[in-house]
Amino acid sequence: MNHDVLDEPVLRANPDAPAAPATRIPDALLPAPRPELPARRPPPSGKSVRVAIVHDWLVTYAGAERVLEQIIACFPDADLFSLVDFLDDRAFIRNKPVTTSFIQNLPLARTKYRAMLPLMPLAIEQLDVSAYDVVISSSHAVAKGVLTGPDQVHISYVHSPIRYAWDLQHQYLKQSNLINGPRSVIARLILHYIRNWDIRTSNSVDEFVANSAFIARRIRKVYQRDAQVIFPPVDVDAFLVNEHKEDFYLTASRMVPYKKIDLIVEAFAKMPGRRLVVIGDGPDMQKIRAKATPNVEIMGYQPFAVLHDQMRRAKAFVFAAEEDFGISVVEAQACGTPVIAYGKGGALETVRDLYDARPTGMFFDEQSTASIIAAVEAFDDNRGRFSPADCRANAEQFSARYFRERFFEHVKEKVPALRNATLPAFDATPPSDGALKAGSIGVLAIDQSGVLGGAELSLLEVVKTLRARIQVALFDDGPFRTALDEAGVAVDVLDAGALRHVRKQGGKLPKGPALTGLASLVRAVTARARKADVIYANTQRAMVIGALAGRLARKPVVWHLRDIVSAEHFGRKQLAIIKWCAKFGLAHVVANSEASARAFSDLTGFDRKRIDVVFNGISAAPFDALRGVPQRSLRTRLGLPQDAFLVGSFSRLAHWKGQHVMLEAMLHNPRMHAVFVGAALFGEDDEYEAGLRAFVEANGLAERVHFLGFQHDVAACMCAVDVVAHTSITPEPFGRVIVEGMLALRPVVAARAGGVLEIVEDGVDGLLCEPGDAGALAQTLDNLQADVALRERIVANGHRTAVRRFGTANYVAGVERILKNVAGQAGKRGKLKKAAVA
């Protein structure tokens, strides 16, 4: 369960939640209604109503996305549009494909999309929704500015007008250190432009829906329009009431300035007799920790189970932010826990104070320590007036089911063609595009290797899920075939002949026996492809065979790109072959990182709309199974010294993987031992391995360097070392061992290049060094060895990153979705061709 933003819950249906009256701004306070216009032209008779949903950006699963999830549940057949789509977990959008803007393909868009605010008005206007009868925008920035026509109904659910362009502009400029100077002038001009655009585009919205009366007042202030209030959904079913409260207060939130967690901590620091528990993480963490006193426990980020437990047991939940709604306030009440909240914003609509016969909390008037202290003291004086049952009953009016009913009825009211429509039944389990049920599609997966490398381990995760609808063809035998057999997957080993000796680094193009092997493989794959709907090539050589076989069998080919296709990794002739295949026989490309996608697009000119980035998924199960095994036992099993500081390297022994950098670092750091897990593969790096061993002997490192060779139980090897080091000297396409190290609860030190930059945030969930810099690597490892607190912080954050962003479920769902979409598009083209011939 994702609680990346702790004050916003995961959604579920709540069939028992009672209805509540609609909340609406009094008519007397609203501007005069606009004159009635002639009715819109309805869709042609017998034609279904086409619905488009437009969201600002898809990068995480937070409050706005929880609302989007329920809007999609109301209109499951709607098409989805967004400025960018960088989701890892796609379950909440029900694995829908997303039409994105040109910002999606700009450099650094994944991490710097917010900085592209000046381009967003133009970008949102380029999304073409002209084919739809109803457009629903979910907007806290620019989504409401999508262009619509006179016969389209545009309903905008507004989380807030653009805060940093309107009433929070000065706060935004101050926090961004943009008070004075040329940058400040530019920022103010941009925000002025955004405000003008924001007002102009509000005129194209037919109906505004606000997430609270507070936001409805903002809408009236900014756009001079009225808004129906439909509160955002809260998963009250995920929270259980606890009648017995303990003697502590709780606050939980993302630690950013406007949440005012520092004020709450300061207030309790002045009340040493009262205990406060703080859950959350963020940029202000160190500042808040510095203010904590012994009665204040800073727990940092915690999974949902811990948050839920603390929220149920706390005597009160303290909330000091001015929020548009404030979902955590409702969550606390769902646990039967009363709330002490700042008396502005959405909290005024979700908390019943002492003036109510059945209060669920109380307010303080100022965002100050004195005001919080006074409110806590007043709460203790009136504690007997708060009932867990009353808190729960108040929370239930904000259920997800109630949101769906209210929102669907509101849309029906505004769209005559939907008057007879019924709310679809809610299915809490989203459809998997890759479920690939019988009768859907069949997949032929091809791979050049029988060795269990990173690419093969990743493919194994996919075929385990698709085993009923997938066939695998390998060009070589080995442990990978054994693993596939054990997983119950249909697998054939094809004879590659002399072609198996061709390497990606270059050399002569295949002639004679190699060409014979090529033709044999193409024939074998073509025969198998005729029974499938899509060919899924997992490696570069498999892609070449797949491109040829796909043309012969008239089947689309998807290449899972796991390399950075550059001169550092491939020979000139091999790069030329890749460019030819991209034009000749590839329908789609799945890249394991943005770095891989960018290099491929730059090389081939391939349409970026046909390239999807899906991060590799790594299962946590092998690492979790070792949690109770002492490290000493693992070291004994592997023949490693018990008391040494062990730094592990986990990859094939190859020059570009940089194991020699690790050995050079040992000369700078005499306290570390090196553990090398891996061997020279494909017979092409034997000389490099011999060179490593010679270096060890020449420098007297034999007692401190441990070559373990290829190991099946990588998890045990990682748990046996103290640090996992990634030392590649050229950009790594992804960096699987980095995620594995995080899952093993080991701090990771990695080379600052390529796909690594998309995994590791330096100093947060790992440490980065310049590629090939042995001195910097030695110093970083020395710092890790000396600083226990640093190691613990890196480990905790790293594990959270690995589980959230690189889980196998997200990975498999992403690959499945692409395979099915490509097969479906090919099927449609085939039907059109047959119809044209007929």
Q: What are phi and psi of 270, to 5 degrees?
A: -90, 0
For residue 432, pLDDT over 50 is answered with no
pLDDT at 739: 94
Task: Return the residue matching tokens 């100022």.
Answer: 366
Q: Please work out, in degrees rounded to the nearest 5, the angle formed at the alpha carbon of residue 746 by the alpha carbons of 480 and 289.
A: 145
**Is residue 616 in some structural domain?**
no
**Is residue 404 in some structural domain?**
no
Q: Which of 194, 229, 264 is the last residue of a domain?
A: 229
Query: Is residue 324 a contact partner of residue 212, using CB atoms and an 8 Å limit?
Result: yes
Which region among 280-284, 409-413, 611-615 has the lowest average model confidence (pLDDT)? 280-284
pLDDT at 237: 82
**Which 8-state DSSP code applies to residue 58?**
B
pLDDT at 500: 58
**Residue 570: count of CB within 10 angstroms of its CB:** 21
How confident is residue 278, by pLDDT bands cut at 50, 70 and 90?
very high
Domain count, the chain: 4
**Is residue 662 in some structural domain?**
yes
Nearest alpha-carbon partner for 474 in 507, 520, 521: 521
- Span 760-789, average pLDDT: 93
Give percent of the chain with pLDDT exceeding 90: 53
CA dihedral 199, 203, 205, 206 (to 10 degrees): 140
Is there a single domain that holds both residue 50 and residue 88? yes
For residue 20, pLDDT over 70 is answered with no
3-state secondary structure of 123: helix
Is there a single domain that holds both residue 199 and residue 247? no
The 10s digit of each residue's pLDDT in 164-213 is 777 767 776 776 777 888 888 888 898 898 899 999 999 999 999 998 88
For residue 699, pLDDT over 60 is answered with yes
pLDDT at 11: 29
Is there a single domain that holds both residue 240 and residue 217? no
Is there a single domain that holds both residue 221 and residue 242? no
- Alpha helices, DSSP H, located in 203-296: 213-223, 261-269, 285-291
d(CA 766, CA 747): 6
**Is residue 828 in some structural domain?**
no
Q: What are phi and psi of 644, to 5 degrees?
A: -85, 155
Write b or e for each residue in 596-617: b if 16 or more Cβ atoms lie within 10 A of its Cβ, otherwise e.
Answer: bbbbbbebbebebeebbbbbbb
**Is residue 533 in some structural domain?**
yes
pTM (two decimals): 0.50
**Is residue 352 in some structural domain?**
yes
Query: Is residue 136 a contact partner of residue 51, using CB atoms and an 8 Å limit?
Result: yes
How confident is residue 23, by pLDDT bands cut at 50, 70 and 90?
very low
- Which residues on neighbouring strands pair with residue 797, listed in sequence order? none
Q: Which two tokens stand for residue 135?
A: 């457009």
Which region among 306-310, 648-652, 769-773 has the lowest average model confidence (pLDDT)? 306-310
- Span 259-269, average pLDDT: 95
Task: Return the residue matching tokens 């394991």.
Answer: 592
Burial of 833 (0-12, 13-18, 19+ CB in 10 A): exposed
SS (H, E, C) 722-779: CEEECCCCCCCCCCHHHHHHHHCCCCEEEECCHHHHHCCCECCCEEEECCCCHHHHHH
The 10s digit of each residue's pLDDT in 89-101 is 788 898 889 999 9
**Is residue 799 in some structural domain?**
yes
Nearest alpha-carbon partner for 783 in 763, 801, 802: 763
Q: Residue 438 belongs to a domain with what CATH number?
A: 3.40.50.2000
Of the two residues 750 and 734, the one the predictor is more confident about is: 750
Which region among 685-694, 759-768, 793-802, 817-826 has the lowest average model confidence (pLDDT)? 817-826
Is there a single domain that holds both residue 185 and residue 252? no
- Span 119-143, average pLDDT: 95
Query: Is residue 741 a contact partner of residue 718, using CB atoms and an 8 Å limit?
Result: yes
Of the two residues 461 and 741, the one the predictor is more confident about is: 741
Strand 228-229 relative to strand 23-24, pairing = antiparallel
pLDDT at 706: 97
Supply the mean pLDDT for the chain: 86
How confident is residue 603, by pLDDT bands cut at 50, 70 and 90?
very high
d(CA 354, CA 214): 21
Give percent of the chain with pLDDT exceeding 70: 88
pLDDT at 1: 37
Which region among 34-38, 319-323, 438-442 has the lowest average model confidence (pLDDT)? 34-38
> What length is written for the chain?
838
Residues contacting residue 826 through CB under 8 Å, at least 6 positions apart? 533, 534, 555, 556, 587
pLDDT at 205: 96
Q: Which of 229, 255, 277 is the last residue of a domain?
A: 229
Q: Which two tokens stand for residue 680?
A: 């020279």
Of the two residues 485 and 57, the one the predictor is more confident about is: 57
Is there a single domain that holds both residue 292 and residue 205? no
Is there a single domain that holds both residue 193 and residue 278? no
How confident is residue 553, by pLDDT bands cut at 50, 70 and 90?
very high
Is there a single domain that holds both residue 782 and residue 654? yes
Query: Is residue 325 a contact partner of residue 212, using CB atoms and an 8 Å limit?
Result: yes
Expressed as residue numbers, the domain containing 175 is 23-35+43-229
Q: Which two tokens stand for residue 632?
A: 């000493």
Q: Which of 209, 229, 249 is the last residue of a domain?
A: 229
Q: What are phi and psi of 705, to 5 degrees?
A: -120, 130
Nearest alpha-carbon partner for 320 in 347, 349, 298, 287: 347
d(CA 229, CA 213): 6
d(CA 428, CA 21): 26
Is there a single domain that holds both residue 215 and residue 86? yes
DSSP labels, 163-208: GGGTTTHHHHHHHTT-SSSHHHHHHHHHHHHHHHHHHHHHTT-SEE
pLDDT at 734: 87
pLDDT at 684: 59
Q: How far is CA 214 from CA 230, 257, 349, 352, in A?
A: 12, 21, 8, 16
For residue 602, pLDDT over 60 is answered with yes
pLDDT at 21: 42
Query: Is residue 334 a contact partner of residue 397, using CB atoms and an 8 Å limit?
Result: no
Residues contacting residue 122 through CB under 8 Å, at least 6 positions apart? none
**Is residue 422 in some structural domain?**
no
pLDDT at 12: 32
Of the two residues 409 and 254, the one the predictor is more confident about is: 409
The 10s digit of each residue's pLDDT in 339-355 is 999 999 889 989 999 99
Nearest alpha-carbon partner for 330 in 418, 399, 405, 228: 399
Q: Residue 224 belongs to a domain with what CATH number?
A: 3.40.50
Is there a single domain that holds both residue 124 and residue 210? yes
Of the two residues 705 and 837, the one the predictor is more confident about is: 705
For residue 434, pLDDT over 50 is answered with no
Is there a single domain that holds both residue 184 and residue 206? yes
For residue 225, pLDDT over 90 is answered with yes
Query: Is residue 557 a contact partner of residue 446, using CB atoms and an 8 Å limit?
Result: no
d(CA 582, CA 559): 9
Is there a single domain that holds both residue 584 and residue 627? no
